[in-house]
Structure formats: structure tokens, C-alpha cells
Amino acid sequence: MNIYDISKKSNVSIATVSRVINGSQNVSAATRKKVLKVIEESGYKPNAFARGLGLDSMKTIGILCVNIEDYYFSEAIYHVVKSIHRNGYDSILIFTGDSLESKSKNMESLLSKRVDGIVLLGSSYVESDDKDNDYIRNAAKQVPIVMMNGYVDGENIFCCLSDDYQAMYDVTSALIEKQQSNLIYLYRNLNYSARQKQKGFEDALLAHQQEVRNYIQIPSGNVYDVKKALEELQAKGIPVGAILCADDEIAVGALKYAVTHNLKVPEDISIIGYNNSKLSICTNPEITSIDPNIIDLSSLSVKMLMDSINGDITPKKSLISAKLIKRGTTH
């Protein structure tokens, strides 16, 4: 028996059960009586989620991250941990890798450590087969979970996302309206975020009656893999006028390709990265990049988790706007 079961038996939300357990006055007398009756009859004792409401709380938040080598994740970890500490909680950080088995195992490990809530960093935690996301739904029966830049529908799961779709749609549209032709999109995997970016790219082409051209998947973000993929396009005689990249590391590889083949940037070819990481200012010319607003995304993700822990009404999904930071690889 857990708080999720109490919620179902009482026919009220988890947030309402939380308020009752926490002694909040923002619950009607009739609802409080109903919930307390179910708790008494079931013999329910507050678990980790209830502790997060102030009842014997461990004051600890678990964080799962796929890979710290990615510049995006390392920056996200910094801001998430900073926000967690600002709220008076400690944090436990675990790197899971990409496999579903490892993600599920490490989720269970966090729950065994009696954390009060969990943050999942990145869209790689969204599995393509929705049934495989049940490990998240099951964990959310014990503690609230916030997914940062990923979306899974489920009770006690809250999602905070950068609007990757709209950002890529707007940037692609702007290039087309400036008479830029032969656009391609480079990515390394098709996680939730990459799919949103690709959809924005495709929909912008369709909206402007442009041919939906190549999506090029790179084996990794390695600059040499990116360079090789673009050289293969060149060998096939496929023209490239602008390259939109799923992240800045790929954009660095695209710039290396351009420099190696004596292409003028942005006169001969335009390059746009994503994440506005430090990589984007370490090249010459510096790389135009889409900024997903990682600071606000991190802060809002933690706020959503804290609101849920405290039994406050929390939106299931929140969007953060991204913006284009123009530098030397575009006009």
C-alpha cells in the first residue's frame, strides 16, 4: 500500500492525500475525513513520498543522468544541484548509461536510499516503446518524479521541457525566408528532444512548400564522424547550403568539414548548433546556436518537484522558450 493506492481508494488526487498527511488546512473537512478513514483502514504508513512532505524526511533528491561527458548535461547538473541545495535538500547523482536495464536498476537504487523525489535529466529517459516507460510510472507511485526535457504521461510524473520543436521550426523558417536553400538536419540519436527538433525542421519545410530533405544520423558527436558524413554527401553530389545540428558538438564537426574543404562560412554554408554551450564560442568563427535556456529549465524543474513534494498544485507539463544566439556561422 502506498500513497498512490490511498489516492485511488479515496478518489482524490495524490496532492490532496499529501495535504492531508502534511496537516495542510487547504483541504475540506469532508475530504480530510474520507482520506484519513482510508489510511486507517488500510494500515498505511507514510513512505518516502510522505517523508518528503516533512514527516521524517531524508531531505534528499535523487538525480539520474545518462552521461556527464555531454556538455549540456554537465551544465544541467550544476544548475539542478544548485537549485536543490537552495531549497534545503541534499542530492544523490547517479549516471545510468543508455540501457533500459541500467536506468531501471538505478531508479530502484535511488528509491532504496529513501529519496524524497527524483529528477531525470534529459530526454534519453523516454523510451520509444511506451510500455518500457513503466519503470518510471512505477517509481512515481512512491515519490514524485520530474523529467527535465522529456515527457512521459503518468500519475505523479511532471515534465519540464525546452520548446525544441518551436525553436527548430522558427530557425528553419527564418533560413528559408532569407532564401537559404538545401537545408539538412544532423543528429546522433532519436531521443525525445531530437524527435521534437526533427519535427520542427520538417514542418517548417512543409509549411514553406520546400522539399523535405536529408536527415543525417551521425554515429556519435565526434567531429570526425560528422566531417565524414558530410564528405559522403559531397561525394554523392548532394548540395548543402545550411546545416542545422541537434547539438553544438555536431556543429563543431560541421565547421571542421567546411574549413577543411575551403568553404566560406557563412557565405558558402551556414551552420547552426543547439544548446549554446561553451563549445559554440571556442571556434573561429563562433557558432550560431539555439539556447534552450538551461538555467530556467533547471530551476523550474526543481521548483515543480518541490511543489509536488509540498503537496502544492503542480502542472503536469511546462514549456520553456528557446532562442537563437547569432554568431559568425550565419548571416
CATH code where residue 7 lies? 1.10.260.40
Q: Is residue 313 part of a domain?
A: yes
pTM score: 0.81
Is residue 306 included in any domain, yes or no? yes
In a domain, 225, yes or no: yes
Counting every residue, how long is the chain? Answer: 331
Rg (C-alpha) for the chain, rounded Å, is 23
The secondary structure of 78-90, three-state, reads: HHHHHHHHHCCCE
Q: Is 186:244 a contact under the CB 8 Å cutoff?
A: yes
Q: Helix axis angle, 29-42 relative to 14-22, nearest 10°?
A: 90
Q: What is the CATH number of the domain that holds 225?
A: 3.40.50.2300
Q: Is residue 331 part of a domain?
A: no
Arithmetic mean of pLDDT, 82-94: 96
Looking at the DSSP bridge assignments, the partners of residue 15 are none
How many domains is the chain built from? 3
Examine residue 219 and say whether the peptide bond preceding it is cis (omega within 30 degrees of 0): no
List pLDDT tens digits, range 103-139.
999 999 999 888 999 999 999 999 999 999 999 999 9
Q: Are residues 129 and 81 in the same domain?
A: yes
Query: Residue 316's domain spans which residues?
Result: 50-161+294-321
- The SS3 assignment for 74 reads helix
Report yes or no: 207 and 173 within 8 Å, Cβ to Cβ: yes
Backbone angles phi, psi at 240, to 5 degrees: -130, 120
Specify whether 236 is located in the same domain as 283: yes
Phi–psi pair at 184, nearest 5 degrees: -135, 160
State what percent of residues in the chain have pLDDT above 90.
70
Q: Is 39 helix (H, G, I), strand (E, B) or coil?
A: helix
Provide the 3-class DSSP secondary structure of residue 67.
coil
Task: Say whether both 7 and 58 belong to one domain.
Answer: no
Residues 195 and 180 in one domain: yes
β-strands 183-187, 145-148: how paired? unpaired
174 in the same domain as 86:
no
Using the structure block, give the residue that is written with the C-alpha cell 510510472.
137
**244 and 274 within one domain:** yes
Asked whether residue 180 is assigned to any structural domain, the reply reads yes
Separation of alpha carbons 67 and 37, rounded Å? 45
Residues 157 and 168 occupy one common structural domain: no
- 28 and 70 together in one domain: no
Domain co-membership, 253 together with 174: yes
> Which segments of the chain are extended strands (E)?
60-65, 90-95, 117-121, 145-148, 157-162, 183-187, 215-217, 242-245, 270-274, 288-291, 317-320, 323-325
Q: Is residue 327 part of a domain?
A: no
The alpha carbon of residue 79 and the mean position of all alpha carbons in its chain are separated, in whole angstroms, by 14
Helix, strand or coil, per DSSP, at residue 188: coil
Whole-angstrom CA distances from 331 to 8, 18, 186, 210, 262 are: 56, 53, 20, 21, 18
State pLDDT tens for residues 30-77: 898 898 888 888 877 655 444 444 444 678 999 999 987 778 899 999
328 domain-assigned: no
Do residues 298 and 156 share a domain?
yes
Judged against a pLDDT cut of 90, whether residue 222 lies above it is answered with no
Mean pLDDT, residues 139-162 taken together:
95
To the nearest 10°, report the CA torsion of 64, 65, 68, 74: -90
78 and 226 fall within a common domain: no
**Are 137 and 73 found together in one domain?**
yes
Say if 329 falls within a structural domain.
no
Q: What pLDDT, in 10s, does the model give residues 223-271?
A: 899 999 999 999 999 899 999 999 999 999 999 999 999 999 999 999 9
CA angle at residue 296 from 293 to 302, to 5 degrees? 135
What's the pLDDT score for residue 54? 45
